[in-house]
Chain A
Amino acid sequence: MRKCSLDKINLIFAEIAKNAELYLPVDQNDGSAAYKKWEEGTAWSNKLNTVKSPKDFFFPQTEDLMQFKTQGKNIEIVDTRSALQDFVIFGVRACDVKSFDILDRVFLSEPVDSFYASRRKHGVIISLACTRPSETCFCKTFDIDPANPTGDISAWKTESEIFFAANTEKGAALLDKLSSLTEECDDAAVLEQKEKINAIMDKLPLKNLTTDAFGGGKTNELFNAPEWDELSSACLGCGTCTFVCPTCQCYDIKDFNTGNGVVRFRCWDSCMYSDFTKMAHGNNRLTQKERFRQRFMHKLVYYPENNDGLFSCVGCGRCLAKCPISMNIVKVMKKIGGKKDE
C-alpha cells in the first residue's frame, strides 16, 4: 500500500495525465458532479457520486459504428474507428466499478463487442472508497462493499491523505509511475477508514433491503404479480432511470444521412420507451406496465438467470434520486418481494 498527502493530489493527477487522458468527477455549475477530463487547475469534486454513471467511458451514449458511401447501386463500408488512447478514470465508486463487471458479461461474452472491448482494454480504473454513503445507497444489498472498491487500483481518502493499493497488472504499472510522489505505508489508516464507512453503512435506511425474492428461475412466480399494475401506474416512460443507470445496456442502431454518406451509429435506448419493441407487424409490449415490468424483471430475474445469479443492479441510488415520479427499484423490490414500505 502507498500513500500521499492530499496536498499533493494535483501532482499525482499531473503525473497520470502525462501518459494518459485522466478523467475525474468535477463539480458543475448546477451543483452536481460529472466526469471531466483533467487539465492543470481542474478541481476534483468532493461529491459522493456523479449524476451520470461512468459507463459512458466504455459504452458511450452515442458512437459511430461505420460509414457507408453509396454510388449508384454500389455500397462501400468505411471503418470510422480511430486508434484509442490509454485513459484513466479516477474516483470511481465501488458500485460503479461493479457495474463494469455487469456490462462485461454482456459485451465481452461471445460474440465479443469489439467497440466496447477496445475501450475496456485502454481504460485504467482507480476506484475510491466512499466516505459518506448516502441514504439512497443500497450497494450492500448486492454484496458490494463501499469500503473495499475494486478496479485496477483501489483508493481510500482520509482527512489529509490518500492511500492506493494496486489490484491488477495495469494498476501496478500505473502505481509504479507514481512512486516518486507516494510512499510505502501500512494499512492501519485504511482499516480505520473502513470501520468508519461500515459504521455509516449500518445506519443507512436501506440496509435491510434483500434480494431474497428475486433471482433466476423466478419468472413465472413474479411475472404476473398484481403489484406491477400499481407500481407502474404513474410511470411516465421518460427513460431517465435507464439513462442514469450504470448497468442499463440496451441500445439502438440507427443510420444518419450526413449529406456526404450515411453514418451508422449506436446509441443508448430504453426499454421504457413505447417504440422500443415496435415493429412492422405489431408491438409485444403495448402498455407502460409491460415496459416497466421488463426493466425490473431484467435486472432482478432475467439477467441473474443468464449470469450465474449476478443481479443487474449495483444499488448506486441514482434512480431513487432522479425519477420524476419517485418510483424506483427499491420500491419494486419491497412491493414485489412482499415487504411493505418500512
Chain B
Amino acid sequence: MNNINETLIPKIGVITDVRIDTPDIKTFRVVTPDGKKAFDHRPGQCAMLSVPGVGEAMFSITSSPTNEEYMEFSIKKCGCVTDWLHQAEPGQQITIRGPYGEPFPVDDVFAGKDLLFIAGGVGLAPLRSVINYCRHYRDRYGKIDIVYGSRSKDDLLDYKEIIEEWSTDTGVNVHLTIDNPQEGWDGHVGFVPNYVKELGFDTNKVAVLCGPPIMIKFTLDGLCEIGFDKTNVYTTLELRMKCGVGKCGRCNVGAKYVCKDGPVFRCDELEELPSEY
C-alpha cells in the first residue's frame, strides 16, 4: 500500500525509544520500519499519530527538522490515544501521517532577530523543534532567550537537554521557573507571566509563546505591558482535529483552520479572529 498518495492513509511508524520526561510526559522516537524519518517537516508543524482501534490525534513534532534520523513527539498522558501510547514499549508500531500546518517563519521573519521563547509545561514540545532549529543555524539569529516554567522541577520537560546543551550555548540564555518552592531547587519560583515581566526584555525581539491558554493570555498581556507589539509575538493553537487538511470542518476559528492555516498564528492576526479557541 506504499504507492497510494492519499492524505488520510498513514504510514507505519515504529517507536524506537521511549524517554520518561516527567510524571505525565513521555517522549517517543519514531521512524519508518526501514529505519528512516517518515517525512520532512518545518519547525512548528504537526503530525497525526494513531493507534489502530484506539484513535488518531494530532501532535506537534518536537524534534528539529535538522535531525535527519528520526522524529520525536513529547506527549502528555491525557486521553485515549495518549494513554495507550504511554503503555507502549520500543518496537511498537503505530501509524503516522503529515506534516500538517504552517510552520514558524524561521527563515524570513525570525532571520537576524533576537528571539524570545516562552513556554509553560508541555508547551515546550512544539517550541523545542524551533529552538533546536535556531540553535543549529545559530549564526542566522541574534540573542536567544528561553523562559520555561512548570508546576515543579519534576515537571520540566527536556531538563537534561536544557541544562547540558541549551544553557551552555553561547548567546543562549535559559530562564527556568517553577510554580512553588521545592527542595533541591535554587532557581526562580513563580508563574511564567510574572517572571517574564520581572526579566523585562528588550522589545525589539520576536517572541514565541506556547503553553496552557491561561498562561498565553497573561504572558501576552505582560509582553504588551513591557512594550512588545503583537505583530512580533507568535503562538500556537490547538483544537480538535480529524483530517489535518482543512476538510473535516472541526478545527476552524472563524474562516481559519488551525490544522491548515495554523497552528502557528501571529498574535495580532489571532486578535482578528472570533474568540472561539
B254 at the interface (CB under 8 A from A): yes
Binary interface encoding of chain A residues 225-256 relative to chain B, with 1 for a CB under 8 A from any of its CBs, else 0: 00000000000000000000000011111110
Chain A 62-90 interface residues, beta-carbon cutoff 8 Å to B: 65-66, 68, 70, 73-79
B23 at the interface (CB under 8 A from A): no
Tell me the complex Cα distance, A65–B82, Å.
23
Find out whether the CB atom of A284 lies under 8 angstroms from the CB atom of B276: yes
A-binding segment of B38-46, B89-97, B104-112: B89-97
A220 at the interface (CB under 8 A from B): yes
B9 at the interface (CB under 8 A from A): yes
**How close is B273's CB to chain A, nearest CB, in angstroms?**
8
Find out whether the CB atom of A75 lies under 8 angstroms from the CB atom of B12: yes
B residues near A74, Cβ cutoff 8 Å: 93
Tell me the complex Cα distance, A137–B202, Å.
61
Find out whether the CB atom of A285 lies under 8 angstroms from the CB atom of B276: yes
B residues near A255, Cβ cutoff 8 Å: 52-56
B175 at the interface (CB under 8 A from A): no
A residues near B196, Cβ cutoff 8 Å: none
**How close is A306's CB to chain B, nearest CB, in angstroms?**
6
Tell me the complex Cα distance, A301–B254, Å.
9
Find out whether the CB atom of A279 lies under 8 angstroms from the CB atom of B79: yes
**How close is B261's CB to chain A, nearest CB, in angstroms?**
9
Chain B 3-20 interface residues, beta-carbon cutoff 8 Å to A: 4-10, 12
Find out whether the CB atom of B248 lies under 8 angstroms from the CB atom of A262: no
A-B CB contacts (within 8 Å), total count = 118
- Residue in A closest to B80 when the chains form the complex, CB atoms: A280
Q: Is the interface of B mostly helix, strand, loop or mixed?
A: loop
A residues near B250, Cβ cutoff 8 Å: 250, 269, 271, 276-277
Quick one: given A219-B255, A280-B78, are A269 and B248 in contact (CB under 8 Å)? yes
Quick one: given A251-B243, A281-B78, A284-B239, are A302 and B1 in contact (CB under 8 Å)? no
Quick one: given A73-B92, A284-B277, A285-B276, are A114 and B6 in contact (CB under 8 Å)? yes
Find out whether the CB atom of A253 lies under 8 angstroms from the CB atom of B7: no
Binary interface encoding of chain A residues 268-280 relative to chain B, with 1 for a CB under 8 A from any of its CBs, else 0: 0101000011111
A107 at the interface (CB under 8 A from B): yes
Quick one: given A277-B239, A305-B255, are A298 and B79 in contact (CB under 8 Å)? no
A100 at the interface (CB under 8 A from B): no
Residues of A within 8 A of B (CB): 65-66, 68, 70, 73-79, 106-107, 111, 113-115, 216, 219-220, 223-224, 249-255, 257, 262, 264, 266, 269, 271, 276-281, 284-285, 290, 294, 297-298, 301-302, 305-306
Residues of B within 8 A of A (CB): 1, 4-10, 12, 52-56, 78-79, 82, 89, 91-95, 238-240, 242-243, 245, 247-255, 272-274, 276-277
* 25 residue pairs A–B, Cβ–Cβ below 8 Å: A68-B53, A68-B95, A70-B53, A73-B93, A76-B12, A79-B9, A111-B245, A113-B247, A115-B6, A216-B255, A219-B273, A249-B247, A251-B248, A255-B54, A269-B249, A269-B250, A271-B250, A277-B251, A279-B239, A280-B79, A284-B239, A284-B276, A290-B276, A297-B254, A298-B249
In addition to A276-B250, A294-B252, 4 A-B residue pairs with Cβ atoms within 8 Å of each other are A75-B95, A279-B79, A281-B78, A294-B276
